[in-house]
Amino acid sequence: MIVRSAVLEGTVAPERRTAFDAHMADVVLPAIAAYPGLRKVALRTPMETDGDAPVIHVVFDLYFDDLAAMHAALASPVRQQVRTVIAAGMEGFKGRVYHVVYDEGPTVMGKA
């Protein structure tokens, strides 16, 4: 499984935060879900960080079977539509957006 994370590193103006967060959750997340070949998309919001960690507002995690499926989704017309949807709600965000692609790798469950 491949995970492509879109990291929004930065801050949102306090007066825009509610609208920004609603746009990401209610508009952007469902738009991303339309990517062809996407297995799952998740929106994560940091709750705690180390003192020297960068300020990250949200992270979108997009799950694909493999790199070929991810590249096909990114080359699809849906991606341009999603980029337009994202841009429409970025007012008040100050920072940068970048992507990291991971191989999900093995998983071990801890004791409950």
pLDDT digits (tens, 9 = 90+) for 27-40: 999 999 999 999 99
**If you average pLDDT over residues 10-17, what whole number do you get?**
96
pLDDT digits (tens, 9 = 90+) for 83-96: 999 999 999 999 99
- Considering the domain boundaries, does residue 109 fall inside one? no
- Considering the domain boundaries, does residue 76 fall inside one? yes
pLDDT at 112 over 80: no
Confidence (pTM): 0.92
- Considering the domain boundaries, does residue 70 fall inside one? yes
How sure is the predictor about 111, in pLDDT bands with cuts at 50, 70 and 90? confident
- Considering the domain boundaries, does residue 44 fall inside one? yes
Q: Domain with 29 in it: what CATH number?
A: 3.30.70.100
Assess contact for 86 and 78: CB atoms under 8 A: no
3-class SS at 68?
helix
- Considering the domain boundaries, does residue 111 fall inside one? no
Amino acid making up residue 48: E
Assess contact for 20 and 92: CB atoms under 8 A: yes
Strand-pair category, 38-44 with 2-12 = unpaired
Q: Note the helical H segments in 1-112.
A: 17-23, 29-32, 67-75, 77-88
- Considering the domain boundaries, does residue 20 fall inside one? yes
- Considering the domain boundaries, does residue 82 fall inside one? yes
pLDDT digits (tens, 9 = 90+) for 34-79: 999 999 999 999 999 999 999 999 999 999 999 999 999 999 999 9
Could you give the number of structural domains in the chain? 1
Domain of residue 94 covers 2-103
Alpha-carbon gap, residue 103 to 112, rounded angstroms: 26
Picking from 6, 5, 7, 8, the residue whose alpha carbon sits closest to that of residue 95 is: 8
Q: Would you say how long the chain is, in residues? A: 112
- Considering the domain boundaries, does residue 49 fall inside one? yes
**If you average pLDDT over residues 97-101, what whole number do you get?**
98
